Structures are given as structure tokens and as C-alpha cells.
Amino acid sequence: MPDNALKNEPRIDPQEILEGIVEWIGIESPSHDAQAVNVMVDKVEGQFRALGLSLQRIPGRDGFGDILEARTPWGEGKGILVLAHLDTVHPIGTIEKELRVRQEGDSVFGPGIYDMKAGGYIAYYALRHLIRKGKKTKLPVTFLFIPEEEVGSPTSRARIEEAARGHKYALVMEPGRDGDRVVTARKGVGRFIVTVKGRAAHAGAKHEDGRSAILEMARQIVRIEGRTDYNRGITVNVGLVKGGTGVNVIAAECVAEIDLRVPDPRIAEEMTHWFLNLEPIGPDVEVHVEGGMNRPPYQKDGGIADLLGKAQAIYREIGKELLDVPLTGGGSDGNFTAALGIPTLDGLGADGKGAHAAYEQIYYSSLMPRTYLCARLLETLE
Ligand SMILES: [Zn+2]
């Protein structure tokens, strides 16, 4: 065989993958900046169009960017749904300050590189690799790019669930974990807003007439935080508190926002019921609670274990061992697909660390195995 025949054989090239990822992270796309996210959507749309996929772009609403759907023109029946989000948590300008794009040894830094532009790009590259090799997937593949996952996918949840019902598998390109690990279970996520109404009064002249909403909230916070139970896998965090109008005024109102994580639907229901029925502790105050679960628990069932088994067999082809992480507290769009009973494999993106942090990075050495895994899953799932 002549030398150049081998050179022309399409291969998974980590340098080429990295260049593509760097292009994507160069387009900063914070969830709340619809225009910026749509520039990213334009980029991805153009790349999938060039691969010959059928595209559908659903206009954004409520201040968020567009949803992009790209589907292979081949294959019939229920196929593979690939989920990725194009938004990041980092505000515009992060790339010029704390997260300049740079490589230090095996680590490559940049805003949203780990969560999860590397993962989205890997999925694109994996399909492109198969096409370049003249291969088709056995099943049709739909790529769904989400504009606002980092704020809980409020405008795309319905579309994700609708798409999931029409597919046999879901592959979620969220960041890989702790070495060669993927995600097969995630806690459910709940959000609650507690509003306390007290009675305002002058803190000096009429102290006894006041009913402090802040004092009541302080008591409620102790009670709410007390529901964290690591043994049962329940965590509660009062993450935001706002109250009062002045230091010499007894506060008439106080609002707190709470994050809840639960391992299964039964506990989700128990905790939701508990929150929505919070009673006042002190006299003459009112407590109102709004909210509920915004991501259902994602539990590892038989279908998910089988899908993991297939991924593990693929990893063995390149001499590597693939494992899954124990139940993780972080939610993703995989929660929606898994809760509908669609075998869902998550955490298929690049390995790295520092999601949402100023040291966010991927490991260059994970690009080849992760792309191989994605390409072979697309190729072999049936
Ligand atoms: Zn993510």
C-alpha cells in the first residue's frame, strides 16, 4: 500500500477536534444572551448543513436562543437522540479575562469548554468522521442543541421530551467524569421560592408593632436546611435571600430561593409536599411557597445498564475500561429523557474539570477515546 493511501484514510484526529472546539468556545454564549447564543446556533447549523443533515430551527422565546434540530436523512423508525447545550454560564468577556483559551500540558482552558462545548463538538465530529469514512449509522440520528440548559431548560423541556418519545436511545454529551467515566443516574432537581410577609414598623419608636419577616425567614431557613439528609440522598440549599428595606425598619418581606436534590420520584414527591405546606413559626406572619421539581430523577434501570454495557464493549476495542459514576447531584437534560424510560447515557463529553469555574478545562488526551466512543455508539446502536 502506498504511503499516501494511509495518510488519506480518515482518522479521528485530536488536534483537528481541538481546533474545532476552540472555534466553538471563541463564540461566547451565556444562557441569558439570546443573540450571542444564536450566533453559536448559526455556527452549528452551518456545520450540520454541510454534512447534509435536515435542519429545523425553532425560534427562541422568553429571552432565550433558538433550539436547533439536525436529523440524518437516512434511517427509519425510532433512532438515536443526541443532546447537547450551546449555552454556558460564563458572561461575555470571560474569554479575555479569567478564562483565556490556552493549553497547559494536557489541559485546555476556556469558557464552557468542559460544560459542554467539547461534548457537543465531539458528537458533531463523530458523525462527520463516519460520513467521511463512507459509513452510515444503522438508526436515524437526531441532534438536539439546547439554548438554555444552564438555567434548567425552561423553553426547551417540552421539545426534548417530545423528541425523546420518538427515539430509542438518548446520548447526552455533558462533561465526562473522573477519568474514563460516564453518567447513568442523576438526582432530580427542585426549585422553591419562599416568601414571608411580616409587618413593617419603626425599629426605634414602634418596635413592638413590627413582625419581622427576616426573623421568620431565619427560623424557616434553619428548618429548611435541616431537611438535608445525606443518608437518604437529599440535599437542600437556601442559596439566595433577600429582605428588608432599611436598617431602622422592621422588615415586612423576605424572599428565599431554594435548591433541592433528590434521588428518586418518591422522595421528590415527599419533599415537594413538605415545601408546599410550610407553616409559619412565629406569630402574625404569612409564609407562601411556590415551585416544584424542574428535573425529575434519572435512575439507572435495565435499559440504561444495557446501553452502558454496549459503551463499555466499545471502549475495550481501544484497550480502555469505561465505568459509570455513582449517582451525581448535578441535573441535565438527560433527566428528562431517562424519566420517560428512554435508555439514556450521559457524561459522554470530554473529560476535564472545573465546570462553571474560572479554571474550567478539558483534558486533551480524552478527545480521541471520547470521540471514538461516540462514533462507534452512533455506528453500532440498533
Ligand atoms: Zn452542561
Between the CA of 301 and the centroid of ligand 1 the distance, in Å, is 22
pLDDT of 26 above 90: yes
What is the arithmetic mean of pLDDT over 24-33?
97
- Nearest-5° angle of CA 156, CA 36, CA 175? 60
- Nearest-5° angle of CA 366, CA 367, CA 373? 90
Between the CA of 87 and the centroid of ligand 1 the distance, in Å, is 8
In angstroms, the CA 228 to CA 300 distance is 23
Between the CA of 148 and the centroid of ligand 1 the distance, in Å, is 10
- Angle, helices 118-132/34-50, rounded to nearest 10 degrees: 10
Between the CA of 318 and the centroid of ligand 1 the distance, in Å, is 27
| Phi/psi of residue 335, nearest 5 degrees | -60, -40
Q: Is 268 helix (H, G, I), strand (E, B) or coil?
A: helix
Task: Give this prediction's pTM.
Answer: 0.90
Q: Is 382 helix (H, G, I), strand (E, B) or coil?
A: coil
pLDDT of 3 above 80: no
Sign, Cα dihedral of 88, 90, 91, 94 = negative
pLDDT of 93 above 90: yes
Tens of pLDDT, residue by residue over 329-369, are 889 999 999 999 999 999 999 999 999 999 999 999 999 99
Between the CA of 175 and the centroid of ligand 1 the distance, in Å, is 7
What is the arithmetic mean of pLDDT over 81-93?
97
Between the CA of 306 and the centroid of ligand 1 the distance, in Å, is 24
Between the CA of 382 and the centroid of ligand 1 the distance, in Å, is 27
For residue 178, the model assigns a pLDDT of 84
Ion ligand 1, residue ranges at CB < 5 A: 115-116, 174
Hey, which residues does 113 pair with through a beta bridge?
A: none
Average pLDDT, the chain: 95
- CA-to-CA separations, 147 to 110, 171, 209, 234, 342, in angstroms, rounded: 19, 17, 49, 29, 22
Between the CA of 174 and the centroid of ligand 1 the distance, in Å, is 5
Exposed (0-12), middle (13-18) or buried (19+): which is 354, by Cβ within 10 Å? middle
Between the CA of 347 and the centroid of ligand 1 the distance, in Å, is 9
Tens of pLDDT, residue by residue over 129-169, are 999 999 999 999 999 999 999 998 999 999 999 999 999 99
- Give the list of residues 6+ apart from residue 121 with CB closer than 8 angstroms, or none: 17, 20, 21, 24
179 compared with 285, residue with greater pLDDT: 285
Using pLDDT thresholds of 50, 70 and 90, give the confidence band for residue 76.
confident
In angstroms, the CA 156 to CA 135 distance is 31
pLDDT > 70 in the chain, percent:
98
For residue 329, the model assigns a pLDDT of 87
Between the CA of 88 and the centroid of ligand 1 the distance, in Å, is 8
pLDDT > 90 in the chain, percent:
94
Tens of pLDDT, residue by residue over 179-238, are 899 999 999 999 999 999 999 999 999 999 999 999 999 999 999 999 999 999 999 999
For residue 7, the model assigns a pLDDT of 58
Q: Could you write out the DSSP letters of every residue in 51-117?
A: TT-EEEEEPP-TT---EEEEE-SS--SSEEEEEEE--BSSPTTGGGTTT--EEETTEEE-TTIIIII
| Phi/psi of residue 176, nearest 5 degrees | -70, 165
Between the CA of 22 and the centroid of ligand 1 the distance, in Å, is 17
Tens of pLDDT, residue by residue over 316-329, are 999 999 999 988 88
Between the CA of 119 and the centroid of ligand 1 the distance, in Å, is 9
**Residue 375 grid coordinates:** 462514533
Between the CA of 116 and the centroid of ligand 1 the distance, in Å, is 5
Between the CA of 166 and the centroid of ligand 1 the distance, in Å, is 23
pLDDT of 118 above 50: yes
Between the CA of 71 and the centroid of ligand 1 the distance, in Å, is 22
The full length of the chain comes to: 382
- CA-to-CA separations, 171 to 80, 143, 175, 201, 363, in angstroms, rounded: 7, 9, 12, 57, 21
Tens of pLDDT, residue by residue over 254-281, are 999 999 999 999 999 999 999 999 999 9
pLDDT of 2 above 50: no
In angstroms, the CA 25 to CA 143 distance is 19
Between the CA of 222 and the centroid of ligand 1 the distance, in Å, is 31
What is the arithmetic mean of pLDDT over 60-81?
96
In angstroms, the CA 323 to CA 235 distance is 25
pLDDT of 293 above 60: yes
